[in-house]
Amino acid sequence: MNVNSFIAKSRASQEALKSALLLKNLDVNVLIEGEVGVGKTFLAKIISDTTVINGKNEIKYIIDLINHNNTVIIKNFDYIKHLDLLETNIKKNKTRIIGLSNKELFEKVRDRFFSLKIKIPPLHERKEDIYPLAKKFLNDILQELNIDIDLDLKKIKLNIDKNCYSLKFSIYKAIIKKFLSEDDIIQVIQELLKTRIGTKNDYRNNIYLYEIPLIKAGFEKYRSQLNISKQFGINRNTLRKKILEYNLQEK
């Protein structure tokens, strides 16, 4: 695993990376905790680029891999139910484990299996990492797709609700928007509507797909209901009713 590709601009990320580098040469079991998408597997691979096991798998499969590896990474460690059987085989084979968990383990479980713990905070607590990560994802995606486009990350709405997963998806969506033609957009809406029509009120039930983005675009460009009604050629009271109906607000 290339250490230089791990983005560590925030203090929390730098501390996590420093701990991982120290643990590379220490034969101890370590637990890495953090929300989905914060980079737990990536950090674990820096400690040891070894086999990754999913704790959601059958215990027999997990134990078989433990018996055939000196070190294993077990993601979703909190899903493992047969802890006694797991512990027995770890001790018998002297296998080193690096556990990953999306939630905080019970203290008794943590102390039973792990000597050290690394906590990776969510991206909203590591704001210094967001833009560098977005830049890395953009470069990776452009290389993967073998394309070259000019994309200003500062103009993209970066979603970090699911940390790196949603952040990377934001980049994908921005790239797709760059390539979508008007015909492509119409085709996408058409395919969506094909799954929704089939009642006597199809027009009324689906018109919001057109009206909501149009009104939102109007707010972004014209700023006020008065200007929107003038530019759209729509009665201001009608516009106000639509805004209230869709719970839209001026920005």
- pLDDT tens digits for 184-195? 999 999 999 999
Q: Give the pLDDT mean for 10-28.
A: 95
Determine the 3-state secondary structure of 96 from DSSP. Answer: strand
Residues 61-85: tens digit of each pLDDT: 999 999 999 999 999 999 998 999 9
Task: Kindly provide the b/e burial profile for residues 216-232, where b requires at least 16 CB atoms within 10 angstroms of the residue's own CB.
Answer: eebbeeeeebeebbeee
- 183-251 fold: Arc Repressor Mutant, subunit A (1.10.10)
The region, left, alpha or beta by phi > 0 then psi within -120 to 50, assigned to residue 25 is: alpha
User: Quick check: 228 pLDDT over 70?
Assistant: yes
- pLDDT band for position 243 (50/70/90)? very high
Six token digits for residue 76: 């979703």
Distance CA(228)–CA(242), nearest Å, equals: 12
**CB-based contacts of 109, cutoff 8 Å, min separation 6:** 83
Distance CA(83)–CA(92), nearest Å, equals: 14
* Domain spans, the chain: 3-121, 123-179, 183-251
CATH 3.40.50.11060 fits 3-121, yes or no: no
Helices (H), the chain: 11-23, 40-47, 59-67, 83-93, 107-113, 127-145, 164-179, 182-194, 202-206, 208-222, 225-232, 236-245
Residues 158-174: tens digit of each pLDDT: 999 999 999 999 999 99
User: Quick check: 1 pLDDT over 90?
Assistant: no
pLDDT (0 to 100) of residue 251:
56
